[in-house]
Amino acid sequence: MSLVGKVGLFGGTFNPIHVGHLRVAEEALRQFGLREVYFIPTGQPPHREVADGVPGEVRYEMVKLAIAGRPGLSVSRVELDRPGPAYTVDTIVLLQREHPEGVAYIVGADIFSQIEIWHDWPRLLALCPFIVAPRPGVDLRVFSAPPFDRAEIYFLNMTPIAVSSSEVRRRYRLGLPTVGLVPEAVDRFIKERGLYGARRTPPLE
């Protein structure tokens, strides 16, 4: 089955969004001919607290800054505007109604490999195709075995993304270099607000 013309849904906390997220989204657009990729920052993740307590609205603003001027990339408020825990299965159902051309869910191999802790995962696996981004230390052969054999899975042909949001937060907290890990506009935003323990800098005039 072809994914050409479908909409990619890329969910996550994006705390913060980094260059790896952008590369995955742009590779998905290019490799599978998607019409668009929506970043979907979650408000209240079901399985964990948002590190450093960064509100959804702030993470949404960072995504907007990161994708500015990048064709084919958009950001959705669908999970931020919904009260309570944000379950991926509900988000996909809602956006399928809005996009009759079809949707595909973009996810890192490390997160996807834990599918059995996701809410209503058997239904989720059958809802739409999945585009999986390789991650260091995750053997993609795991997705050939149950329960993944019931899903339609596509793999991004790319070098595994080594950068992680947790590492980016650690670097800000310790005052280590972050050049090349987050877009410049996001870096300025983080420093102007002192997020993640970063040393606060005055905004540019």
Residue 46 has pLDDT above 70, yes or no: no
Query: What is the rounded average pLDDT of the residues 174-201?
Result: 94
Beginning with the edge strand found earlier in the chain, give each strand of the sheet holding 73-75 in spatial order: 73-75, 36-41, 7-12, 103-108, 130-133, 153-155
Residue 48 has pLDDT above 60, yes or no: no
- Determine the Cα–Cα distance for residues 201 and 130; give it in Å rounded to an integer: 40
Query: What is the rounded average pLDDT of the residues 117-142?
Result: 96
What pLDDT shows up at residue 205?
52
pLDDT tens for residues 22-43?
Answer: 999 999 999 999 999 999 999 8
The CATH code of the domain at 7-163 is 3.40.50.620
pLDDT tens for residues 98-123?
Answer: 999 999 999 999 999 999 999 999 99
Q: Cα-flanking dihedrals φ and ψ of residue 149, to 5°?
A: -65, -15
Domain boundaries, the chain: 7-163
Burial 71-108 (b: 16+ CB within 10 A, else e): eebbbbebbbebeeebbbbbbbeebbeeeeebbbbbbb
Query: What is the rounded average pLDDT of the residues 44-72?
Result: 85
What pLDDT shows up at residue 193?
94
The pTM score is: 0.93
CB atoms within 10 A of CB 167: 13
Query: What is the rounded average pLDDT of the residues 114-141?
Result: 96
